[in-house]
Amino acid sequence: MTEKSMRQRMLDGELYRGDEETAREIVRAQELTHRINALAPGDHETKRKLLTELLGGLGAETEIRAPMQFDYGYQTFIGARSFVNFGLVCLDVARVTIGDDVQIASNVQLLTAWHPLDPEQRRDKWEAGSPITIGDNVWLGGGVIVCPGVTIGDNTVVGAGAVVVKDLPANVVAVGNPARIVRELR
């Protein structure tokens, strides 16, 4: 049996270290996001083409405003009719799934990457990722941070500046650091 590549370990959610293959994929994502971020306003056709090349999936009528940054891009899937405002940072070491009709305000961070608590493993540059799932019709306010492994249920609203460290159910409003539910939605 052959040993897994670091890329495969990453895709399987296991501890991995960056290698030449993952470095090439990061450079690819950086090059594509640089091209997207440098486009003239209104060049929607080129932007859509580049986003389709960068991302794992991009739904119809979804808009993502530049600037933006992705670690890999192909690990991120965004549904239809969603809107992402300026300044998205998506560390998509693990899969990021964003549903349909999602509203993401400016300067939101979706962070799947995490590092071990063991100081030796951190010193040796090991890391891993846990997937993020954002349901349909979710609204993430400005500056929201979604941490590794979090799922946010359909129709949920996360207030500006919240740090989401654990799953949120559908149909709630959550605010604060750490994010806590303050209201149910009907």
> Which string of DSSP letters, residue by residue, matches 9-56?
HHHTT--B---HHHHHHHHHHHHHHHHHHTSPTT-HHHHHHHHHHHSS
Residue 1, in any domain of the structure: no
Residue 127, in any domain of the structure: yes
Are 185 and 152 within 8 A, CB to CB? Answer: no
Residue 65, in any domain of the structure: yes
* Catalytic-residue membership of 34: no
CA angle 95, 104, 156 (to 5 degrees): 85
Whole-prediction pTM value? Answer: 0.96
Cβ-based burial of 36 (10 A; exposed 0-12, middle 13-18, buried ≥19)? buried
What is the tally of structural domains in the chain? 1
Catalytic residue among 115, 125, 166, 183: 115
Over the range 90-129, which residues count as b (16 or more CB within 10 Å of their CB) and which as e?
bbbbbbbbbbbbbebbebbbbbbbbeeeeeeeeeeebbbb
pLDDT above 90 (res 186) = no
Range of the domain at 37: 6-184
Q: How far apart are CA 159 and CA 174, in angstroms?
A: 6
How does strand 113-114 pair with strand 128-129?
Answer: antiparallel
Residue 128, in any domain of the structure: yes
Q: What is the pLDDT of residue 3?
A: 86
Q: How far apart are CA 116 and CA 123, in angstroms?
A: 10
pLDDT digits (tens, 9 = 90+) for 52-106: 999 999 999 999 999 999 999 999 999 999 999 999 999 999 999 999 999 999 9
Residue 134, in any domain of the structure: yes
CA dihedral 70, 73, 75, 76 (to 10 degrees): 80
pLDDT digits (tens, 9 = 90+) for 6-51: 999 999 999 999 999 999 999 999 999 999 999 998 999 999 999 9
User: Which CATH number is 130's domain given?
Assistant: 2.160.10.10
pLDDT digits (tens, 9 = 90+) for 123-165: 999 999 999 999 999 999 999 999 999 999 999 999 999 999 9
* Residue located via tokens 């990453």: 10
Residue 97, in any domain of the structure: yes
Q: What is the pLDDT of residue 1?
A: 54
Residue 37, in any domain of the structure: yes
